[in-house]
A and B are shown apart, each in its own frame.
Chain A
Amino acid sequence: MSQELGSLLSKKLESESINGEIINLEPLTGGASKEIWKFEVKLKDKSEKYILRRGSGIEGPLAIKTSDEAQIQKTVRKLGALVPEIISVSSLSEPLGDSYIMRFVEGETIARKILRDSEYKNALQNLAFECGESIAKIHQTDIAELSFLPKKTVKEQLNDLYETYTLFNQASPVFEYTYLWLKKQNFGEIDDALVHGDFRLGNIIVSQDGLQSIIDWELAHVGNPLQDLGWICGNSWRFGNTDKVVGGFGDLKDLLDGYNSISEYQVDQETVRAWQVFGTFRWGVICLIQASAHLNGTINSVEKAAIGRRVSETEIDIVDLLFLGGR
Protein backbone atom coordinates (compact mmCIF):
# COMPACT_ATOMS: atom_id res chain seq x y z
CA MET A 1 0.00 0.00 0.00
CA SER A 2 2.56 2.56 1.10
CA GLN A 3 5.03 1.58 -1.66
CA GLU A 4 2.40 2.22 -4.30
CA LEU A 5 1.44 5.48 -2.59
CA GLY A 6 5.11 6.50 -2.52
CA SER A 7 5.41 6.18 -6.29
CA LEU A 8 2.16 8.14 -6.82
CA LEU A 9 3.52 10.91 -4.58
CA SER A 10 6.83 10.89 -6.38
CA LYS A 11 5.15 11.34 -9.78
CA LYS A 12 2.86 14.09 -8.51
CA LEU A 13 5.76 16.02 -6.99
CA GLU A 14 7.80 15.67 -10.19
CA SER A 15 5.08 17.69 -11.90
CA GLU A 16 5.82 20.46 -9.37
CA SER A 17 9.58 20.16 -10.09
CA ILE A 18 10.29 18.50 -6.77
CA ASN A 19 12.47 15.53 -7.65
CA GLY A 20 13.67 13.17 -4.96
CA GLU A 21 13.16 9.85 -3.27
CA ILE A 22 10.10 9.56 -0.99
CA ILE A 23 11.22 8.36 2.44
CA ASN A 24 9.71 7.80 5.89
CA LEU A 25 6.15 7.60 4.57
CA GLU A 26 3.88 6.95 7.57
CA PRO A 27 0.16 7.28 8.35
CA LEU A 28 -0.82 9.79 11.03
CA THR A 29 -3.82 9.55 13.32
CA GLY A 30 -6.20 11.83 11.53
CA GLY A 31 -9.86 12.65 11.57
CA ALA A 32 -12.38 9.86 11.14
CA SER A 33 -12.96 10.67 7.48
CA LYS A 34 -9.53 11.45 5.98
CA GLU A 35 -6.24 9.68 5.45
CA ILE A 36 -3.24 11.72 6.54
CA TRP A 37 0.32 10.71 5.65
CA LYS A 38 3.60 12.27 6.65
CA PHE A 39 6.64 11.80 4.40
CA GLU A 40 9.97 13.27 3.40
CA VAL A 41 11.53 13.94 0.04
CA LYS A 42 15.26 13.27 -0.08
CA LEU A 43 16.91 16.01 -2.09
CA LYS A 44 20.62 16.40 -2.95
CA ASP A 45 21.86 17.85 0.32
CA LYS A 46 18.79 17.84 2.57
CA SER A 47 15.32 16.38 2.99
CA GLU A 48 12.02 18.23 3.16
CA LYS A 49 8.93 17.20 5.13
CA TYR A 50 5.43 17.14 3.67
CA ILE A 51 1.89 16.05 4.53
CA LEU A 52 -0.53 14.30 2.21
CA ARG A 53 -4.19 14.78 3.00
CA ARG A 54 -6.46 12.43 1.13
CA GLY A 55 -10.25 12.17 1.06
CA SER A 56 -12.38 9.24 0.07
CA GLY A 57 -13.77 11.23 -2.83
CA ILE A 58 -17.21 10.93 -1.25
CA GLU A 59 -18.58 14.28 -0.12
CA GLY A 60 -20.36 14.10 3.23
CA PRO A 61 -23.54 16.02 4.04
CA LEU A 62 -21.37 18.79 5.56
CA ALA A 63 -17.88 18.13 4.22
CA ILE A 64 -16.39 19.68 1.09
CA LYS A 65 -13.97 18.06 -1.39
CA THR A 66 -10.39 17.71 -0.22
CA SER A 67 -9.08 19.56 -3.28
CA ASP A 68 -11.41 22.48 -2.39
CA GLU A 69 -9.84 22.62 1.08
CA ALA A 70 -6.52 23.27 -0.65
CA GLN A 71 -8.02 26.17 -2.60
CA ILE A 72 -9.26 27.76 0.65
CA GLN A 73 -5.85 27.40 2.28
CA LYS A 74 -4.23 29.13 -0.69
CA THR A 75 -6.71 32.03 -0.51
CA VAL A 76 -6.50 32.43 3.26
CA ARG A 77 -2.71 32.30 3.19
CA LYS A 78 -2.58 35.41 0.99
CA LEU A 79 -4.18 37.37 3.87
CA GLY A 80 -1.42 36.38 6.23
CA ALA A 81 -3.54 33.89 8.18
CA LEU A 82 -1.62 30.93 9.58
CA VAL A 83 -2.09 27.98 7.20
CA PRO A 84 0.39 25.49 5.73
CA GLU A 85 1.70 26.16 2.22
CA ILE A 86 -0.04 24.07 -0.43
CA ILE A 87 2.46 22.33 -2.72
CA SER A 88 0.26 20.32 -5.06
CA VAL A 89 -3.43 19.50 -5.52
CA SER A 90 -4.88 16.33 -7.04
CA SER A 91 -8.44 15.88 -8.26
CA LEU A 92 -10.51 12.72 -7.86
CA SER A 93 -9.79 11.64 -11.46
CA GLU A 94 -5.98 11.69 -10.99
CA PRO A 95 -4.09 8.59 -9.73
CA LEU A 96 -3.55 10.13 -6.28
CA GLY A 97 -7.29 10.82 -5.89
CA ASP A 98 -9.04 13.75 -4.17
CA SER A 99 -6.11 15.05 -2.13
CA TYR A 100 -3.38 17.62 -1.65
CA ILE A 101 0.22 17.85 -0.51
CA MET A 102 1.21 20.61 1.89
CA ARG A 103 4.38 21.60 3.67
CA PHE A 104 4.80 19.98 7.10
CA VAL A 105 4.54 22.46 9.98
CA GLU A 106 6.44 21.66 13.19
CA GLY A 107 4.29 21.50 16.30
CA GLU A 108 1.61 19.41 17.96
CA THR A 109 -2.03 18.81 17.06
CA ILE A 110 -3.04 16.24 19.67
CA ALA A 111 -5.24 18.11 22.13
CA ARG A 112 -4.43 16.10 25.23
CA LYS A 113 -0.68 16.55 24.68
CA ILE A 114 -1.03 20.29 24.21
CA LEU A 115 -3.15 20.59 27.34
CA ARG A 116 -1.03 18.28 29.49
CA ASP A 117 2.66 18.56 28.50
CA SER A 118 4.64 21.18 30.40
CA GLU A 119 6.43 22.40 27.24
CA TYR A 120 3.19 24.05 26.05
CA LYS A 121 2.41 25.73 29.38
CA ASN A 122 3.60 29.18 28.30
CA ALA A 123 2.02 28.92 24.85
CA LEU A 124 -1.37 28.17 26.43
CA GLN A 125 -1.36 31.49 28.34
CA ASN A 126 -1.90 33.50 25.19
CA LEU A 127 -3.52 30.88 22.94
CA ALA A 128 -7.15 32.00 23.40
CA PHE A 129 -6.23 35.55 22.33
CA GLU A 130 -4.22 34.22 19.36
CA CYS A 131 -7.12 31.99 18.30
CA GLY A 132 -9.48 35.00 18.47
CA GLU A 133 -7.12 36.99 16.23
CA SER A 134 -6.75 34.13 13.75
CA ILE A 135 -10.48 33.46 13.56
CA ALA A 136 -11.08 37.19 12.87
CA LYS A 137 -8.46 37.13 10.07
CA ILE A 138 -10.08 34.09 8.46
CA HIS A 139 -13.39 35.95 8.53
CA GLN A 140 -11.85 38.79 6.51
CA THR A 141 -11.17 36.50 3.52
CA ASP A 142 -12.68 37.74 0.27
CA ILE A 143 -15.51 35.26 -0.27
CA ALA A 144 -15.80 36.25 -3.94
CA GLU A 145 -12.73 34.03 -4.51
CA LEU A 146 -14.46 31.07 -2.89
CA SER A 147 -17.65 30.87 -4.91
CA PHE A 148 -17.52 27.04 -4.91
CA LEU A 149 -18.26 26.95 -1.19
CA PRO A 150 -21.76 26.21 0.11
CA LYS A 151 -23.48 29.34 1.43
CA LYS A 152 -26.09 29.07 4.18
CA THR A 153 -28.01 31.43 6.46
CA VAL A 154 -28.24 30.51 10.14
CA LYS A 155 -31.88 29.57 9.65
CA GLU A 156 -31.02 27.30 6.72
CA GLN A 157 -28.19 25.66 8.66
CA LEU A 158 -30.40 25.10 11.66
CA ASN A 159 -33.14 23.60 9.51
CA ASP A 160 -30.58 21.40 7.72
CA LEU A 161 -29.30 20.09 11.04
CA TYR A 162 -32.81 19.41 12.26
CA GLU A 163 -33.80 17.69 8.99
CA THR A 164 -30.66 15.56 9.16
CA TYR A 165 -31.45 14.56 12.73
CA THR A 166 -34.98 13.50 11.77
CA LEU A 167 -33.64 11.34 8.89
CA PHE A 168 -32.07 8.93 11.36
CA ASN A 169 -35.37 8.19 13.04
CA GLN A 170 -33.84 8.26 16.51
CA ALA A 171 -36.05 10.49 18.65
CA SER A 172 -34.21 12.85 20.99
CA PRO A 173 -36.44 14.92 23.30
CA VAL A 174 -33.37 17.03 24.15
CA PHE A 175 -32.68 17.83 20.48
CA GLU A 176 -36.34 18.71 19.90
CA TYR A 177 -36.19 21.13 22.82
CA THR A 178 -32.85 22.53 21.61
CA TYR A 179 -34.17 23.17 18.12
CA LEU A 180 -37.10 25.19 19.48
CA TRP A 181 -34.75 27.11 21.79
CA LEU A 182 -32.26 27.88 19.01
CA LYS A 183 -34.98 29.18 16.70
CA LYS A 184 -35.61 32.01 19.18
CA GLN A 185 -31.98 33.12 19.60
CA ASN A 186 -30.10 36.13 18.27
CA PHE A 187 -26.92 35.00 16.47
CA GLY A 188 -25.55 38.47 15.70
CA GLU A 189 -26.22 40.68 12.66
CA ILE A 190 -22.93 40.30 10.81
CA ASP A 191 -22.06 40.06 7.09
CA ASP A 192 -21.52 36.61 5.59
CA ALA A 193 -17.91 35.44 5.69
CA LEU A 194 -15.69 32.38 5.33
CA VAL A 195 -16.39 30.07 8.29
CA HIS A 196 -13.68 27.50 9.12
CA GLY A 197 -16.37 25.29 10.62
CA ASP A 198 -14.16 23.15 12.86
CA PHE A 199 -11.74 25.51 14.62
CA ARG A 200 -10.53 23.79 17.80
CA LEU A 201 -7.63 21.83 19.30
CA GLY A 202 -6.95 18.90 16.99
CA ASN A 203 -7.29 21.14 13.95
CA ILE A 204 -4.66 23.70 14.89
CA ILE A 205 -0.91 23.21 15.19
CA VAL A 206 0.58 24.57 18.41
CA SER A 207 4.26 24.85 19.32
CA GLN A 208 6.04 26.15 22.42
CA ASP A 209 5.77 29.58 20.79
CA GLY A 210 2.01 29.43 20.38
CA LEU A 211 -0.37 29.03 17.45
CA GLN A 212 1.46 27.94 14.27
CA SER A 213 -1.14 26.83 11.76
CA ILE A 214 -4.82 26.18 11.11
CA ILE A 215 -5.63 22.92 9.33
CA ASP A 216 -8.57 20.64 8.50
CA TRP A 217 -10.88 22.85 6.45
CA GLU A 218 -13.32 20.14 5.42
CA LEU A 219 -16.32 21.76 7.16
CA ALA A 220 -15.66 25.22 5.70
CA HIS A 221 -18.59 27.19 4.29
CA VAL A 222 -19.86 30.73 3.86
CA GLY A 223 -22.30 32.14 6.40
CA ASN A 224 -22.53 33.87 9.78
CA PRO A 225 -18.89 33.59 10.92
CA LEU A 226 -19.55 33.88 14.66
CA GLN A 227 -20.20 30.14 14.56
CA ASP A 228 -16.42 29.62 14.81
CA LEU A 229 -16.34 31.41 18.19
CA GLY A 230 -19.13 29.30 19.71
CA TRP A 231 -17.73 26.05 18.31
CA ILE A 232 -14.37 26.20 20.11
CA CYS A 233 -16.25 26.93 23.38
CA GLY A 234 -18.25 23.69 23.23
CA ASN A 235 -17.48 21.29 26.05
CA SER A 236 -16.76 18.52 23.51
CA TRP A 237 -13.60 20.45 22.57
CA ARG A 238 -12.36 21.10 26.12
CA PHE A 239 -11.00 17.55 26.40
CA GLY A 240 -11.94 17.21 30.05
CA ASN A 241 -10.77 20.69 31.14
CA THR A 242 -14.36 21.80 31.70
CA ASP A 243 -13.60 25.03 33.58
CA LYS A 244 -11.56 26.45 30.71
CA VAL A 245 -14.35 27.53 28.38
CA VAL A 246 -12.21 28.13 25.28
CA GLY A 247 -10.91 24.79 24.01
CA GLY A 248 -10.00 23.58 27.50
CA PHE A 249 -7.20 26.15 27.77
CA GLY A 250 -8.55 29.72 27.84
CA ASP A 251 -11.18 32.20 28.95
CA LEU A 252 -13.94 33.58 26.76
CA LYS A 253 -12.86 37.15 27.50
CA ASP A 254 -9.40 36.51 25.98
CA LEU A 255 -10.86 34.87 22.86
CA LEU A 256 -13.19 37.85 22.33
CA ASP A 257 -10.44 40.39 23.08
CA GLY A 258 -8.36 38.74 20.34
CA TYR A 259 -11.28 38.65 17.92
CA ASN A 260 -12.44 42.19 18.61
CA SER A 261 -8.86 43.53 18.22
CA ILE A 262 -9.03 42.62 14.50
CA SER A 263 -12.74 42.56 13.64
CA GLU A 264 -14.79 45.65 12.92
CA TYR A 265 -17.85 43.83 14.28
CA GLN A 266 -17.60 43.62 18.09
CA VAL A 267 -18.87 40.38 19.59
CA ASP A 268 -20.40 39.99 23.07
CA GLN A 269 -20.51 36.91 25.32
CA GLU A 270 -24.30 36.38 25.05
CA THR A 271 -24.08 35.90 21.27
CA VAL A 272 -21.26 33.39 21.68
CA ARG A 273 -23.42 31.47 24.14
CA ALA A 274 -26.20 31.02 21.58
CA TRP A 275 -23.56 29.78 19.12
CA GLN A 276 -22.18 27.45 21.77
CA VAL A 277 -25.56 25.70 22.06
CA PHE A 278 -25.81 25.70 18.26
CA GLY A 279 -22.35 24.15 18.01
CA THR A 280 -23.12 21.47 20.56
CA PHE A 281 -26.31 20.54 18.68
CA ARG A 282 -24.30 20.55 15.42
CA TRP A 283 -21.69 18.19 16.88
CA GLY A 284 -24.50 15.91 18.06
CA VAL A 285 -25.90 15.75 14.53
CA ILE A 286 -22.41 15.14 13.09
CA CYS A 287 -22.08 12.19 15.50
CA LEU A 288 -25.38 10.85 14.12
CA ILE A 289 -24.13 11.26 10.54
CA GLN A 290 -20.85 9.48 11.29
CA ALA A 291 -22.59 6.61 13.06
CA SER A 292 -25.09 6.22 10.21
CA ALA A 293 -22.25 5.47 7.77
CA HIS A 294 -21.62 2.36 9.87
CA LEU A 295 -25.27 1.57 10.55
CA ASN A 296 -26.40 1.73 6.93
CA GLY A 297 -23.54 -0.51 5.80
CA THR A 298 -21.52 2.07 3.82
CA ILE A 299 -18.48 1.06 5.84
CA ASN A 300 -17.91 -1.22 8.79
CA SER A 301 -15.98 0.89 11.29
CA VAL A 302 -15.78 0.53 15.05
CA GLU A 303 -14.82 4.23 15.26
CA LYS A 304 -17.97 5.28 13.48
CA ALA A 305 -20.11 2.84 15.43
CA ALA A 306 -18.72 4.17 18.72
CA ILE A 307 -19.39 7.79 17.81
CA GLY A 308 -23.12 7.05 17.80
CA ARG A 309 -22.88 6.66 21.54
CA ARG A 310 -21.34 10.12 21.87
CA VAL A 311 -24.60 11.85 20.99
CA SER A 312 -25.46 11.63 24.69
CA GLU A 313 -22.39 13.77 25.49
CA THR A 314 -23.95 16.61 23.53
CA GLU A 315 -27.32 16.11 25.22
CA ILE A 316 -25.86 16.37 28.73
CA ASP A 317 -23.88 19.46 27.64
CA ILE A 318 -27.04 21.10 26.29
CA VAL A 319 -29.18 20.45 29.39
CA ASP A 320 -26.28 21.75 31.49
CA LEU A 321 -26.15 24.96 29.41
CA LEU A 322 -29.93 25.49 29.22
CA PHE A 323 -31.14 24.37 32.66
CA LEU A 324 -28.26 23.90 35.10
CA GLY A 325 -26.21 27.09 34.81
CA GLY A 326 -23.40 25.53 32.75
CA ARG A 327 -20.98 27.79 30.90
Chain B
Amino acid sequence: MNGNRRQQTPMVPYPSGAIVPERDLGSIPVLECSHLGIDFGGLKAVDDFNVIMGKTEIAGLIGPNGAGKTTVFNLLTRVYQPTRGTMMLEGRDMGSMTTVDANKAGIARTFQNIRLFDNMTVEENVRIGLHNQIRYGMFSGILRMPNYWKAEKKQHEEALELLNIFDMASMSDMRAGSLPYGAQRRLEIVRALATHPKLLLLDEPAAGMNPHETEELMDNITRIRDQFQIAILLIEHDMNLVMGICEDICVLNFGRIIAKGTPDEIQRNPAVIEAYLGKQKEAQA
Protein backbone atom coordinates (compact mmCIF):
# COMPACT_ATOMS: atom_id res chain seq x y z
CA MET B 1 0.00 0.00 0.00
CA ASN B 2 2.93 2.30 0.52
CA GLY B 3 4.42 1.88 -2.92
CA ASN B 4 2.77 4.96 -4.39
CA ARG B 5 3.16 7.33 -1.48
CA ARG B 6 3.76 10.89 -2.78
CA GLN B 7 6.19 13.26 -1.09
CA GLN B 8 4.39 14.79 1.84
CA THR B 9 4.80 17.60 4.31
CA PRO B 10 4.75 16.41 7.91
CA MET B 11 1.40 16.71 9.64
CA VAL B 12 1.26 18.76 12.82
CA PRO B 13 -1.39 18.98 15.50
CA TYR B 14 -3.70 21.98 15.40
CA PRO B 15 -4.69 23.63 18.72
CA SER B 16 -8.00 21.71 18.83
CA GLY B 17 -6.19 18.38 18.41
CA ALA B 18 -6.91 17.89 14.69
CA ILE B 19 -3.94 17.62 12.35
CA VAL B 20 -3.14 19.85 9.38
CA PRO B 21 -0.11 19.97 7.06
CA GLU B 22 2.76 22.03 8.49
CA ARG B 23 2.66 24.49 5.53
CA ASP B 24 -0.96 25.44 6.32
CA LEU B 25 -0.34 26.42 9.95
CA GLY B 26 -0.12 30.12 9.12
CA SER B 27 -3.50 30.40 7.37
CA ILE B 28 -7.10 30.01 8.52
CA PRO B 29 -8.34 26.44 8.05
CA VAL B 30 -10.48 26.22 4.92
CA LEU B 31 -13.07 24.01 6.57
CA GLU B 32 -14.00 23.60 10.21
CA CYS B 33 -16.92 21.35 11.07
CA SER B 34 -17.91 20.89 14.67
CA HIS B 35 -20.48 18.37 15.89
CA LEU B 36 -22.14 18.38 12.46
CA GLY B 37 -25.05 15.99 12.22
CA ILE B 38 -28.23 15.23 10.32
CA ASP B 39 -31.20 12.97 11.11
CA PHE B 40 -33.47 11.37 8.56
CA GLY B 41 -36.50 10.63 10.68
CA GLY B 42 -35.16 8.52 13.53
CA LEU B 43 -31.93 7.64 11.74
CA LYS B 44 -28.80 9.58 12.63
CA ALA B 45 -27.28 9.52 9.13
CA VAL B 46 -24.31 11.60 10.25
CA ASP B 47 -23.52 12.42 13.84
CA ASP B 48 -20.85 14.41 15.65
CA PHE B 49 -18.76 15.05 12.52
CA ASN B 50 -15.68 17.08 13.46
CA VAL B 51 -13.09 17.95 10.85
CA ILE B 52 -10.50 20.65 10.30
CA MET B 53 -8.88 21.05 6.90
CA GLY B 54 -5.81 23.15 6.16
CA LYS B 55 -5.77 25.59 3.26
CA THR B 56 -4.01 23.24 0.84
CA GLU B 57 -4.68 19.90 2.47
CA ILE B 58 -5.70 16.78 0.57
CA ALA B 59 -7.91 14.72 2.84
CA GLY B 60 -9.74 11.47 2.35
CA LEU B 61 -13.13 10.36 3.60
CA ILE B 62 -13.42 6.59 3.62
CA GLY B 63 -15.69 4.00 5.10
CA PRO B 64 -17.82 0.99 4.19
CA ASN B 65 -20.86 1.35 1.93
CA GLY B 66 -23.69 3.26 3.56
CA ALA B 67 -21.40 4.84 6.15
CA GLY B 68 -22.68 8.34 5.29
CA LYS B 69 -19.81 9.67 3.19
CA THR B 70 -21.95 11.16 0.44
CA THR B 71 -24.31 12.52 3.08
CA VAL B 72 -21.34 14.45 4.50
CA PHE B 73 -20.75 15.91 1.01
CA ASN B 74 -24.41 16.82 0.76
CA LEU B 75 -24.15 18.57 4.12
CA LEU B 76 -21.03 20.47 3.10
CA THR B 77 -22.66 21.61 -0.15
CA ARG B 78 -25.91 22.35 1.67
CA VAL B 79 -28.04 19.98 -0.37
CA TYR B 80 -29.17 18.96 3.12
CA GLN B 81 -29.38 21.44 5.98
CA PRO B 82 -27.65 19.98 9.04
CA THR B 83 -29.79 19.14 12.08
CA ARG B 84 -26.95 19.91 14.51
CA GLY B 85 -23.55 21.51 14.57
CA THR B 86 -21.74 24.27 12.68
CA MET B 87 -19.62 24.61 9.56
CA MET B 88 -17.10 27.35 8.90
CA LEU B 89 -15.55 28.05 5.52
CA GLU B 90 -12.33 30.05 5.98
CA GLY B 91 -13.64 31.23 9.34
CA ARG B 92 -17.02 32.25 7.90
CA ASP B 93 -20.08 30.57 9.38
CA MET B 94 -22.14 28.81 6.72
CA GLY B 95 -25.27 29.01 8.88
CA SER B 96 -28.20 29.41 6.52
CA MET B 97 -26.52 29.06 3.15
CA THR B 98 -28.21 27.34 0.22
CA THR B 99 -26.42 25.08 -2.28
CA VAL B 100 -25.95 28.06 -4.58
CA ASP B 101 -24.51 30.20 -1.76
CA ALA B 102 -22.17 27.40 -0.72
CA ASN B 103 -20.79 27.23 -4.24
CA LYS B 104 -20.40 30.99 -4.41
CA ALA B 105 -18.64 30.90 -1.03
CA GLY B 106 -16.12 28.45 -2.46
CA ILE B 107 -17.22 24.82 -2.21
CA ALA B 108 -17.37 22.90 -5.48
CA ARG B 109 -18.09 19.22 -5.94
CA THR B 110 -18.29 16.33 -8.34
CA PHE B 111 -20.91 13.61 -8.15
CA GLN B 112 -20.69 9.89 -7.50
CA ASN B 113 -23.12 9.21 -10.34
CA ILE B 114 -21.89 11.63 -13.00
CA ARG B 115 -24.13 14.67 -13.45
CA LEU B 116 -22.88 16.44 -16.53
CA PHE B 117 -25.05 18.49 -18.87
CA ASP B 118 -25.07 15.67 -21.41
CA ASN B 119 -26.58 17.57 -24.32
CA MET B 120 -24.18 20.48 -24.09
CA THR B 121 -20.67 20.48 -25.46
CA VAL B 122 -17.65 19.91 -23.26
CA GLU B 123 -16.77 23.59 -23.42
CA GLU B 124 -20.31 24.67 -22.52
CA ASN B 125 -20.16 22.45 -19.46
CA VAL B 126 -17.04 24.26 -18.29
CA ARG B 127 -18.64 27.60 -19.13
CA ILE B 128 -21.53 26.72 -16.80
CA GLY B 129 -18.88 26.36 -14.11
CA LEU B 130 -17.57 29.82 -15.03
CA HIS B 131 -21.09 31.25 -14.69
CA ASN B 132 -20.38 33.29 -11.57
CA GLN B 133 -16.74 34.00 -12.37
CA ILE B 134 -17.04 35.75 -15.74
CA ARG B 135 -20.35 37.57 -15.81
CA TYR B 136 -22.47 39.85 -17.94
CA GLY B 137 -26.15 40.66 -17.78
CA MET B 138 -29.08 39.27 -19.73
CA PHE B 139 -29.48 42.45 -21.79
CA SER B 140 -25.79 42.60 -22.76
CA GLY B 141 -26.31 39.08 -24.04
CA ILE B 142 -29.45 39.86 -26.02
CA LEU B 143 -28.15 43.12 -27.46
CA ARG B 144 -24.64 41.69 -28.00
CA MET B 145 -22.97 44.61 -26.23
CA PRO B 146 -19.16 44.93 -26.26
CA ASN B 147 -18.91 43.36 -22.80
CA TYR B 148 -20.72 40.29 -24.16
CA TRP B 149 -17.99 39.67 -26.74
CA LYS B 150 -15.26 40.39 -24.22
CA ALA B 151 -16.70 38.08 -21.56
CA GLU B 152 -17.48 35.31 -24.07
CA LYS B 153 -13.91 35.42 -25.31
CA LYS B 154 -12.59 35.33 -21.77
CA GLN B 155 -14.88 32.39 -20.93
CA HIS B 156 -13.70 30.54 -24.03
CA GLU B 157 -10.03 31.08 -23.19
CA GLU B 158 -10.37 30.15 -19.55
CA ALA B 159 -12.47 27.09 -20.39
CA LEU B 160 -9.79 25.81 -22.75
CA GLU B 161 -7.08 26.56 -20.22
CA LEU B 162 -8.93 24.54 -17.57
CA LEU B 163 -9.61 21.69 -20.00
CA ASN B 164 -5.90 21.57 -20.73
CA ILE B 165 -5.23 20.36 -17.18
CA PHE B 166 -6.54 17.01 -18.34
CA ASP B 167 -5.48 17.43 -22.00
CA MET B 168 -9.12 17.73 -22.98
CA ALA B 169 -9.00 20.96 -24.99
CA SER B 170 -9.24 18.99 -28.24
CA MET B 171 -12.59 17.54 -27.11
CA SER B 172 -14.12 20.95 -26.41
CA ASP B 173 -16.69 20.71 -29.23
CA MET B 174 -17.85 17.19 -28.43
CA ARG B 175 -21.15 16.46 -26.75
CA ALA B 176 -20.42 15.82 -23.06
CA GLY B 177 -22.71 12.77 -23.00
CA SER B 178 -20.75 11.11 -25.79
CA LEU B 179 -17.42 11.17 -23.93
CA PRO B 180 -15.95 7.95 -22.54
CA TYR B 181 -16.60 7.34 -18.85
CA GLY B 182 -13.16 8.36 -17.60
CA ALA B 183 -13.25 11.59 -19.59
CA GLN B 184 -16.68 12.39 -18.16
CA ARG B 185 -15.27 12.06 -14.63
CA ARG B 186 -12.38 14.35 -15.54
CA LEU B 187 -14.75 16.87 -17.13
CA GLU B 188 -16.72 16.99 -13.88
CA ILE B 189 -13.54 17.91 -12.03
CA VAL B 190 -12.74 20.63 -14.59
CA ARG B 191 -16.28 22.00 -14.34
CA ALA B 192 -16.01 22.11 -10.53
CA LEU B 193 -12.62 23.85 -10.77
CA ALA B 194 -14.13 26.46 -13.07
CA THR B 195 -16.19 27.79 -10.15
CA HIS B 196 -12.88 28.88 -8.53
CA PRO B 197 -13.41 26.90 -5.33
CA LYS B 198 -11.44 27.06 -2.11
CA LEU B 199 -12.47 23.53 -1.27
CA LEU B 200 -12.99 20.86 -3.90
CA LEU B 201 -15.06 17.81 -3.02
CA LEU B 202 -14.48 14.75 -5.19
CA ASP B 203 -16.97 11.91 -4.84
CA GLU B 204 -15.25 8.69 -5.97
CA PRO B 205 -13.11 10.32 -8.67
CA ALA B 206 -11.41 7.03 -9.59
CA ALA B 207 -14.58 4.96 -9.88
CA GLY B 208 -14.53 3.00 -13.13
CA MET B 209 -10.95 3.96 -13.98
CA ASN B 210 -8.23 1.41 -14.73
CA PRO B 211 -5.01 1.37 -12.62
CA HIS B 212 -3.15 3.41 -15.22
CA GLU B 213 -5.85 6.10 -15.33
CA THR B 214 -5.96 6.13 -11.52
CA GLU B 215 -2.19 6.76 -11.43
CA GLU B 216 -2.67 9.73 -13.76
CA LEU B 217 -5.57 10.98 -11.68
CA MET B 218 -3.40 10.92 -8.54
CA ASP B 219 -0.78 13.06 -10.26
CA ASN B 220 -3.46 15.42 -11.50
CA ILE B 221 -5.11 15.82 -8.10
CA THR B 222 -1.82 16.78 -6.46
CA ARG B 223 -1.02 19.05 -9.40
CA ILE B 224 -4.40 20.80 -9.11
CA ARG B 225 -3.75 21.34 -5.41
CA ASP B 226 -0.30 22.83 -6.09
CA GLN B 227 -1.41 24.97 -9.02
CA PHE B 228 -4.63 26.39 -7.54
CA GLN B 229 -3.59 26.25 -3.85
CA ILE B 230 -6.91 24.74 -2.79
CA ALA B 231 -7.96 22.07 -0.36
CA ILE B 232 -9.35 18.80 -1.69
CA LEU B 233 -11.56 16.37 0.18
CA LEU B 234 -12.23 13.09 -1.57
CA ILE B 235 -14.36 10.03 -1.08
CA GLU B 236 -12.72 6.97 -2.58
CA HIS B 237 -12.79 3.20 -2.31
CA ASP B 238 -9.48 2.76 -4.14
CA MET B 239 -7.09 2.49 -1.15
CA ASN B 240 -4.10 2.85 -3.40
CA LEU B 241 -5.27 6.37 -4.30
CA VAL B 242 -6.37 7.29 -0.78
CA MET B 243 -3.16 6.12 0.89
CA GLY B 244 -1.08 7.59 -1.94
CA ILE B 245 -2.21 11.19 -1.93
CA CYS B 246 -4.25 11.92 1.18
CA GLU B 247 -2.42 13.62 4.01
CA ASP B 248 -5.22 13.21 6.49
CA ILE B 249 -7.83 10.46 6.46
CA CYS B 250 -11.14 10.30 8.20
CA VAL B 251 -12.92 6.96 8.52
CA LEU B 252 -16.68 6.94 8.80
CA ASN B 253 -18.89 4.07 9.90
CA PHE B 254 -22.62 4.23 10.65
CA GLY B 255 -22.46 8.02 10.35
CA ARG B 256 -19.77 8.46 13.01
CA ILE B 257 -16.06 9.10 12.72
CA ILE B 258 -14.29 6.00 13.99
CA ALA B 259 -10.74 7.07 13.23
CA LYS B 260 -8.77 10.07 12.04
CA GLY B 261 -5.13 10.44 11.22
CA THR B 262 -2.34 10.04 8.68
CA PRO B 263 -2.43 7.09 6.24
CA ASP B 264 0.05 5.18 8.42
CA GLU B 265 -2.02 5.62 11.55
CA ILE B 266 -5.22 4.61 9.75
CA GLN B 267 -3.68 1.42 8.37
CA ARG B 268 -2.65 0.36 11.86
CA ASN B 269 -5.91 1.36 13.55
CA PRO B 270 -7.76 -1.72 14.86
CA ALA B 271 -11.18 0.01 14.69
CA VAL B 272 -10.70 0.62 10.97
CA ILE B 273 -9.63 -2.93 10.32
CA GLU B 274 -12.66 -4.13 12.22
CA ALA B 275 -15.02 -1.88 10.24
CA TYR B 276 -13.69 -3.13 6.93
CA LEU B 277 -12.91 -6.77 7.69
CA GLY B 278 -14.95 -7.62 10.78
CA LYS B 279 -13.66 -8.77 14.20
CA GLN B 280 -10.86 -11.27 14.22
CA LYS B 281 -12.74 -13.72 16.48
CA GLU B 282 -15.75 -13.77 14.19
CA ALA B 283 -13.51 -14.31 11.24
CA GLN B 284 -11.97 -17.39 12.87
CA ALA B 285 -15.28 -18.84 14.01
* A interacts with B: no
